Chains A and B, each alone.
Chain A
């Protein structure tokens, strides 16, 4: 293809791309900031995963604040303003500040028609075991104790407190909050502070960017004005973390992107003295990013924020192509035409682009959604940037003026001679030393696969959340049970089997957990209701001496008519079904636990508070079919470990594949020797982590892909004898310097995995560049006549 034809074709393609991007991609573009979406769906059960996602989504929408002040009245006043601010925003669908005092009465009323099939766990045990003394003792306490007015049912209407005991269980509490003046409060003594609670429910998904954009200013406004009045504000909720994470990422992208861009401009201007070259390089990058965004948008619908991190990878590599092309002018300063470079340095650029794209394409094999996006993003972006360089640069690049070009050439000519003196005098003792260094370092290597590497470190927020957890009390643990069954009743029966075991464990010697919440506590299965009804019929309303109720009422002094009336009321009872229950206010505290129909089967969640003995809970789950412990943190850590191992294998495969590709172009011997530089750079980087005791994560390994790609470029430029010139030394040096600038900045990120990427690539690039310098030039294989880089 002629240069002119290439130019026309590519320019047309770019025009089309820009049109599509402007009119179809930009209006519909969506960014995903939920870092967990980076992880592959658990390979076993998509349906369950979706249900669990829904559960997490619901939990993720809740946010709780404790407004603290020295005295209760100030705390309440400031909390009221705080609540009013949030109330006015469309970001929140629900707000809780003043307590709904009718809730308990409504709950009692909801259960009333079904009361004769409802028993608390302990009442059922006593009745089933015939332990009348315990039951009567509890009934007496409920009548006579000074706390008797705590009972949930009227003493005359429910003398044995059977219904009342069930109501207490169904609305069993957790937490340390108490009610004062219509709001929920708690307090601490040192420092002496009164806290008032405000809670809100987000209108949309806590991870969606537009929700964050809506919520951020309102929250900031509410928090700032509360603090301005001297109150403390501590919050807990996913939205706070995701806003902080997104804000941090944005800040870092702005800051690092800005510095990187300024550095880039400065260096390029100094070397090439051409405004046009800067514009062309910028256009190349822009087309690369636009192409990558467009393709990602159509392939994935939502772009992960991590893919944007790959943006800097893309920029780091793509700018190299412009540099390599333009630096060719220093081969023949003053006499150079832009079109000359196409045939001279073009093939080397093609090779390095092919090898890098290949290595990223291999990365896309791993079923990690975020990685796939990143890999595709880089492949498309690099290919587009490469095409820009090859199509536009031959026509448009202007060489630098002769004088500065000659100066630069002379400078690098001298450097080239220095390099050749060092590399030419074989530093044989260096290589065994390097091997020893790598071997020793690798033996000290250790790995960490903790989910925390995914989250930015926000210590203030975490401390606040911890404080809220402490003050509010038993908030649910991250570990919970998933109960599945063929229909709603099956789920409830399984829950009942599970909670029977949990009751034992909670009261057992290890106190496996402090408490649990399960739908079946408030909604017994129909079978259980039937049993309950039977127990009541046989022991309470009839039976020995006319039943427990008659005996007790007689003892209290009720007359026969009252007893008969109460007995008569028992006859008409109806079963409580899930759909009826879900429609009552009584189900509200439990509704989120009921996952319902999850595609053919039904499921619910049983949450735990204050878990002490995971092993015992796991064992409890094993005993009941359809029940399993869900531990998202552990599962994700396990996945990270599997993918780290897979990624390590992929790096090895990529190295081998690249070697084959290079061998094809440069001959077997030279191809494999070229590959020695990137492989050594990767291994030495790992060795550094071994010696410095930095735990290696999945993201360090991913970074090795980039290290390999960049080091391979340097190796090609510096080691192919036919390319030898000050121009390629300049190219490689510039490229390495700019990569160091970009990734050195990423190493400053407070998000652990971005930091890992940055630090790995920085160290690796340094090694790759130095090794490529030291290896010296490699003459073409005697056997292989065809060398893509030769002229």
Chain B
């Protein structure tokens, strides 16, 4: 049984894989401002109740992935749907058409040819954790984020009501993959930046985010 558990352990760690190379990017200023969950709630007061209480959030994204080996970022864009508790539907339209459905149970990939590839969460348990982090990130669920991350926050000078949220993983193994996360926004999250421990960086710019009080049946079905 030991070996089986070792396997399970390996899979859990998979999430937090990649050997750590220190991030080159200078530490964003927000990480000099530790905050409690309560302070953040005040800071993020501009975020409407509709967003926080939403059953689902949908919108468009532009993703810029900065590999430390490449001078220019890898660009992609498309639409997303975050269904709270159910999962994330990540539909990339450019530069290729592909969709990823990430649920606590499985990762289902669908390519342009319509072929599906399914990876069960029981075979790669980290998936479930990722689905949950995304869930909390998009809905700005501070309490939930506080369980997995140390929290930082400050006002973003430019606009009234604008804020910066900084997150560093509590889990040492998680920190080996994701060094820190910065989210900025005002009435809703606008830019999410994932600083990977390898030195790579992913920026996700959100636009046209709309909150839905209930998940449409057609969408619910997709997450089953």
Contact = CB atoms under 8 A, between A and B. Distances in A.
B65 A144 contact: yes
Interface in B1-37: 1-19
B7 A101 contact: no
Contacts of B19: 105, 108-109
A63 B128 CA distance: 26
Contact of B115 (A134, A147, A182): A134
B198 interface: yes
Interface string A578-597: 00000000001111110000
B65 to A, nearest CB: 7
A173 B129 CA distance: 14
Interface string B113-124: 101010000111
Contacts of B96: 137, 140
A101 B173 contact: yes
Given A103-B10, A179-B171, A589-B10, A141 B5 contact: no
Interface in B75-120: 76, 88, 90, 92, 96, 98, 100, 102, 107, 109, 111-113, 115, 117
A476 B5 CA distance: 10
B24 to A, nearest CB: 14
A590 B174 CA distance: 25
Interface residues of B, number: 67
A487 B170 CA distance: 48
Given A150-B15, A155-B200, A173 B171 contact: no
A104 interface: yes
B100 A145 contact: yes
B72 interface: yes
Contacts of B4: 174-175, 474-476, 517, 589
Interface in B58-80: 63, 65, 67-72, 74, 76
A404 B8 CA distance: 76
Interface string A237-272: 100000000000000000000000000000000000
A557 B1 contact: no
B203 interface: no
A647 B71 CA distance: 82
B15 A588 contact: no
A138 interface: yes
Contacts, number: 221
B130 A201 contact: no
Interface string A135-165: 0011011011111111111111100000000
Contacts of A168: 14, 124
A141 B115 contact: no
A197 interface: yes
Given A145-B100, A473-B8, A175 B125 contact: yes
A474 B112 CA distance: 33
B211 interface: no
B74 A144 contact: yes
A477 to B, nearest CB: 11
Given A103-B10, A152-B17, A473-B8, A199 B63 contact: no
B164 interface: no
B188 interface: no
Given A104-B17, A138-B117, A154 B198 contact: yes
Given A138-B117, A591-B3, A146 B102 contact: yes
A180 interface: yes
Nearest to A106: B19
Contacts of A133: 111, 113
B41 interface: no
A562 interface: yes
29 contacts: A99-B9, A103-B6, A103-B13, A104-B16, A105-B17, A133-B111, A134-B115, A141-B100, A144-B65, A144-B98, A146-B130, A147-B102, A149-B178, A150-B17, A156-B70, A172-B11, A172-B124, A173-B10, A173-B14, A175-B4, A177-B8, A178-B129, A180-B171, A182-B172, A473-B122, A474-B122, A558-B70, A562-B69, A589-B7
In the complex, the 5 A-B pairs of residues with the closest C-beta atoms, listed nearest first: A173-B11, A156-B69, A175-B8, A171-B10, A62-B1
